[in-house]
Amino acid sequence: MKKTALLLSITCLALSCGTDRQKSDAYGNFEAVEYIVSAEAQGTLTEFLPEEGITGMAGSYAGCIDTIQLFLKKQQLMAQKKGLTARWKAVNAQLDVLSEQKNILLKEKNRIEKLLEGSAATPKQLDDVEGNIKVLDKQSASVSLQKENLAAENDALNVQIAQVNEQIRKSLIRYPVTGTVLEKYAEKSELVIPGKPLFRMASLDTMLLRVYVDGSQLPAIQLNQKAEVLVDSENGRLKKLPGRVCWIASQAEFTPKTIQTRKERINLVYAVKISVPNDGSLKIGMPGEAVFFTKEK
């Protein structure tokens, strides 16, 4: 009697597990959006913090490529800008002197014009004063042109300083997102060039289950549709997690060798990605199953 009850229990358990497996609509593996961080400058890695398995915060400091030459170049440009400021002040002082001289000549001109009305001055005296005023006007125009040249030179220095600042910014390595470092490709003190991969990371807070469905299933699946994701748990049963369809392939592809669909005779399938909040149990490459909540269900 006990053996019979035990056999019935095992049979029911097997049927229950079989039912869970049969109701799954698609099968696949988990993946994450990965980011490969590459060097944007050339030089020696003076500091490099990423280690496989650690978590980095978006925008936080991850390392630095040697910036000594850039720093020295910026210091040189700042010195040139400082000298330019001194020249600017000298030009303004010269313009002030010319302006004061012109005011004196204008007063002299008015005085001579009054004297000329009383025949106490000669026309030549008036001509000389007016000639001197014209000379001062030309000198002022020449000095003002120097001022414009200095302004253009100052703008050029500002652009060069901005370029150096941008190069310094690119020499600082930062984490692009909050996530886990999966693999590192460089070490401290290595010489790197622009484009060289430094490390690979991914945000594991939300995982993507890539599954494959056949053409008959595709019409019932829509973007943002809710889905139930099933994964293996410690007790051997299937663990249920909420999911959402976030991507549907626009073209069919041949069934991957590692995927078994519900209708194995169909060779062409469509890839579907399901976004699943990660409670810490999901890993990249881990298998999973999906149940789509359609109107029929």
26-69 pLDDT, tens digit each: 999 999 999 999 999 999 999 999 999 999 999 999 999 999 99
Instruction: Match domain 24-34+203-292 to its CATH number in 1.10.569.10, 2.40.30.170, 3.40.50.300, 3.40.50.720.
Output: 2.40.30.170
Q: Please check whether residue 63 is in contact with residue 173, taking contact to mean a CB–CB distance below 8 angstroms.
A: yes
Mean pLDDT for the stretch of residues 211-222? 89
Domain boundaries, the chain: 24-34+203-292, 37-66+172-202, 68-171
| CA-wise closest residue to 29 among 297, 294, 279, 271 | 271
> For 154-185, what is each residue's pLDDT tens digit?
999 999 999 999 999 999 999 999 999 999 99
- Cα of 59 vs its chain's centroid, Å: 9
CATH topology of domain 37-66+172-202: OB fold (Dihydrolipoamide Acetyltransferase, E2P) (2.40.50)
Least confident of 7-11, 62-66, 212-216, 248-252: 7-11
pLDDT beyond 60 at 15: no
pLDDT beyond 70 at 239: yes
Give the pLDDT of residue 263.
Answer: 53
pLDDT band per the 50, 70, 90 thresholds, residue 282: very high
pTM: 0.68
Give the mean pLDDT of the chain. 86
